[in-house]
Chain A
Amino acid sequence: MKPTPNQTFSFLLLQFTLLFTLLNCLEVKAQCGSPTTANCQAVPSSELIQSGNGNVDFVFDSFSKYSGGITQSGTTTLRLKVLPNNASCKWTLRVYIENNPSSGSDVNDWETLSNYGTGTNTPTLDLLALKVYNGCGTPINSGIYQNFAAINGSYIDIINDATLIPAGSCTTNVNSAGSYLTEPSEYTFMVDYRIVPGLNFTPGYYQVVLHFCLVEQS
């Protein structure tokens, strides 16, 4: 039997509703926030390229590592290419920390994958520090280790969109359209990681995920 126009429209509406629900879910999960303007071109014309291992493992198996910490230098490299729609194109680069709360992780702690023993003193999210730098020192706190706040979803701004700083300035917070191909010292970011656990936390195997977000926001 051929569907009536009303049935066809209802079906169409249902499909759009499902599509929007899916998009909303993806955005919430990604944590990157929604852009409010469209002065820059979208992916794939613009893009954030990550190189380096997607898994960074810290293994603490000696007292000196517990006490002195472990630093992993240059583990992640980010390269940006941002093409403009107009001269107002500016962007933010931000990194969020996430502990997979759906697994039951406390909002302040790393996600526990495995416990060695019976302790309950789970490592807190503020243990993880990262340092971002590049040739021109464009990150807001270039070359300085920064710790996340001990709460799921906290973030560190690498570049913000407070004021438009044009490419080629080779100064702090360059955030205009540009590319690592033409301004490698401004649109390439090296990331070092460091953890100094000390001796207060329960031995175990823990995990967090870092989300590096390139977003046009205004």
Chain B
Amino acid sequence: MIKKTKLALALGFLAISGTSFGQLQDEKNVTMTMDLQPILQLEMNTPDQVDFVFDKLGDYYGGITKYGATILKVNSTVAWDLYAVGTSNDGTYWDKQMEYGTGTDPNAIDQLPLELLELHQSEANANAASGTGFRGDYSSALAAAPYTPGENNIYASATPYVLPALTEKYIQGHNGTADFAAGGSYLTQGSATNSIYYYAIDYRIVPGLPATFPTAADNALVPNQLDLETANAVGSYAQPGVYTMNVKYVLIENQ
């Protein structure tokens, strides 16, 4: 009796097993992979060289402004920061290419601070909450005299690829992991007149007369004025000549 029960049980297992194999069930598989490669792309339309030629009294007094001299366009698939940095051989002063004249006047200064260059960005920095400087960006209008030193002066550094400190200006985003612009593109987000992915950059230099560059200042909370008289001595002025500096626009993944 026990043997029959065991046999029936075993046959039952076989029967169930047979039914399972006898029904229609088939499967094919496809593996999908998705390679999302990071894209961080800054397009810049600008002349290779932006020249400021001061050869008229009015240019010295009123300065020269180059409107929309640089257009910046951002495409990014990651969170990003954008900053401008003025640099030169020493990272502090304009590079002197040549001097006009052979004057030996001790008040004729050929160390012109990089910060005398002013920038204006068309769209404000919407992600600069952590900034602790006088201004978080370059969006203030380029005001006429009386000037507010520090308002639009470029950030200057001898190490342009080191992230600017909390006290410096950024075009978008800032030195803080919470301050960044989200991935996006000027092609799809906002219009040319209202997009953090598109900037028209204006440049201005105001030498003044005598040429002391009265707008020059850093971005400390209370800006330190860098005009030639404050930085040197009363009566100082800029040595006439040809000077150059380099402006870099650095687009970097949010740090």
* A residues whose Cβ falls under 8 Å from a Cβ of B: 5, 9, 12-13, 16, 19-20, 23, 30, 32-35, 37-38, 40-43, 46-50, 52, 54-63, 66-67, 75-76, 78, 82, 89, 91, 110, 113, 116-117, 119, 123, 127-128, 193, 195, 197, 199-216
Cross-chain contact B24 with A210 (CB below 8 angstroms):
no
User: For B3, what are the chain A residues with a Cβ–Cβ distance below 8 Å?
Assistant: 5
Cross-chain contact A207 with B34 (CB below 8 angstroms):
yes
Cross-chain contact B30 with A58 (CB below 8 angstroms):
no
Cα A211 to Cα B28 in complex, Å, equals 6
1/0 contact string of B38-56 vs chain A (CB within 8 Å) = 1101000000000000000
Q: Given A42-B23, A210-B29, A63–B75 Cβ distance below 8 Å?
A: yes
Cross-chain contact A43 with B26 (CB below 8 angstroms):
yes
Cross-chain contact B37 with A203 (CB below 8 angstroms):
yes
- Whether, in the assembled complex, B166 has its beta carbon less than 8 Å from a beta carbon of chain A, the answer is no
Cross-chain contact A58 with B39 (CB below 8 angstroms):
no
B contact patch SS = mixed
Not counting A63-B187, A91-B24, a sample of 6 additional A-B residue pairs whose C-beta atoms are within 8 angstroms of each other reads: A58-B35, A117-B78, A197-B36, A206-B34, A207-B32, A216-B24
Q: Chain A residue with minimal CB distance to B30? A: A210
Q: Given A42-B23, A60-B35, A12–B29 Cβ distance below 8 Å?
A: no
Cα A160 to Cα B26 in complex, Å, equals 15
Cβ 8 A contact of B24, one of A40, A113, A116, A204? A40
Binds A, one of B92-100, B123-131, B132-140, B177-185: B177-185
User: For B26, what are the chain A residues with a Cβ–Cβ distance below 8 Å?
Assistant: 43, 46-48, 213-215
Cα A207 to Cα B29 in complex, Å, equals 13
- Whether, in the assembled complex, B104 has its beta carbon less than 8 Å from a beta carbon of chain A, the answer is no
Cβ 8 A contact of A76, one of B30, B34, B78, B188? B30
Residue tally, chain B, CB below 8 Å to A: 40
User: For A33, what are the chain B residues with a Cβ–Cβ distance below 8 Å?
Assistant: 25
User: For B32, what are the chain A residues with a Cβ–Cβ distance below 8 Å?
Assistant: 55-58, 128, 193, 207-210
Cross-chain contact A30 with B27 (CB below 8 angstroms):
yes
User: For A43, what are the chain B residues with a Cβ–Cβ distance below 8 Å?
Assistant: 24-26
Shortest CB–CB separation between residue A68 and chain B, in angstroms? 10
- Whether, in the assembled complex, B102 has its beta carbon less than 8 Å from a beta carbon of chain A, the answer is no
Q: Chain B residue with minimal CB distance to A72? A: B32
Cα A59 to Cα B77 in complex, Å, equals 14
Q: Given A19-B17, A200-B183, A213-B27, A110–B38 Cβ distance below 8 Å?
A: no
- 29 A-B contacts (beta carbon < 8 Å): A5-B3, A9-B10, A16-B13, A19-B17, A32-B27, A33-B25, A38-B22, A42-B25, A43-B26, A47-B26, A48-B26, A49-B28, A54-B30, A60-B34, A60-B35, A66-B36, A110-B34, A117-B38, A117-B78, A201-B36, A203-B36, A203-B37, A205-B33, A205-B36, A206-B33, A207-B33, A210-B30, A210-B32, A215-B26
User: For A62, what are the chain B residues with a Cβ–Cβ distance below 8 Å?
Assistant: 39
Cα A167 to Cα B253 in complex, Å, equals 57
Cross-chain contact A116 with B37 (CB below 8 angstroms):
yes
User: For A13, what are the chain B residues with a Cβ–Cβ distance below 8 Å?
Assistant: 9-10
User: For B27, what are the chain A residues with a Cβ–Cβ distance below 8 Å?
Assistant: 30, 32, 48, 211-214
